């Protein structure tokens, strides 16, 4: 990972390479047949490779485009207006199809069983005193925190 103000440089296979601060890849400091830099835009410094620089420039241009911004705002409004309806519809579907919900949850559990067990064990290992204190509190009839 690059840090600080200077670009990482190295010499590999007969060419200097610099590391892009965004994609973290090494790109050679070479020129094409026309004498133009292939992977870097020197006028923008050796901070980001050509691809990363152009991607950022493209996104900035798209964000500044009023048509794109109007479309995004319309999509946001549509999402907000339809959100409650969609949530209610999917809740109603789940209510009508409990066996499919159960089958999905069972399949999901079987797919992620090992992760769930590992997470539970890690939690218990880390918070064992707290878990045991809660169990003791429940046994004594106190409300668990």
Q: Which of 20, 39, 40, 46 binds Zn ion (CB under 5 A)?
A: 20
Q: Which is nearer to Zn ion, 17 or 134 (CB)?
A: 17
CA separation for the pair 134, 30 (Å, rounded): 65
Is 54 or 89 the residue whose CB approaches Zn ion more closely?
54
Pick between residue 22 and residue 29 the one whose CB is nearest to Zn ion.
22
Piece of the chain touching Zn ion by CB under 5 A; list 12-20, 70-78, 94-102, 116-124: 12-20
Three-state secondary structure call for residue 8? coil
Token digits of residue 105: 């949850």
Taking the least distance from each CB to Zn ion, the nearer of 53 and 134 is: 53
Query: Considering CB under 5 A, how many residues would be counted as binding Zn ion?
Result: 5
Distances (CA, A) of 16 to 12, 19, 52, 70: 6, 10, 19, 45
Strand order in the sheet with 15-19: 9-12, 15-19, 26-28
Smallest distance, Å, CB 58 to Zn ion?
14
Closest contact distance (angstroms) between CB of 51 and Zn ion is 6
What residues pair up with 27 in beta bridges, in sequence order? 18
Instruction: Report the Cα 102 to chain-centroid distance in Å.
Output: 29
| Interface characters, 36-75, with Zn ion (x: CB under 5 A) | -------------x--x-----------------------
101 neighbors 93 (Cβ within 8 angstroms): no
Residues that bind Zn ion (CB under 5 A): 20, 22-23, 49, 52
């Amino acid at each position: 990972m690059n840090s600080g103000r200077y670009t990482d440089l190295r010499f590999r296979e007969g060419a200097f390479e610099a590391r892009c601060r965004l994609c973290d890849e090494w790109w050679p400091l070479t020129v094409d047949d026309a004498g133009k830099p292939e992977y870097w835009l020197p006028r923008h410094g050796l901070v980001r490779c050509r691809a990363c620089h152009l991607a950022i420039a493209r996104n900035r241009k798209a964000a500044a485009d009023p048509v794109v911004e109007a479309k995004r705002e319309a999509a946001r409004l549509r999402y907000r207006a339809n959100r409650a309806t969609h949530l209610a519809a999917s809740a109603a579907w789940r209510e009508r199809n409990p066996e499919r919900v159960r089958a999905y949850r069972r399949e999901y559990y079987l797919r992620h069983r090992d992760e769930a067990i590992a997470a539970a064990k890690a939690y218990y290992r880390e918070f064992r005193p707290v878990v045991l204190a809660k169990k003791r509190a429940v046994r004594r009839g106190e409300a668990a925190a």
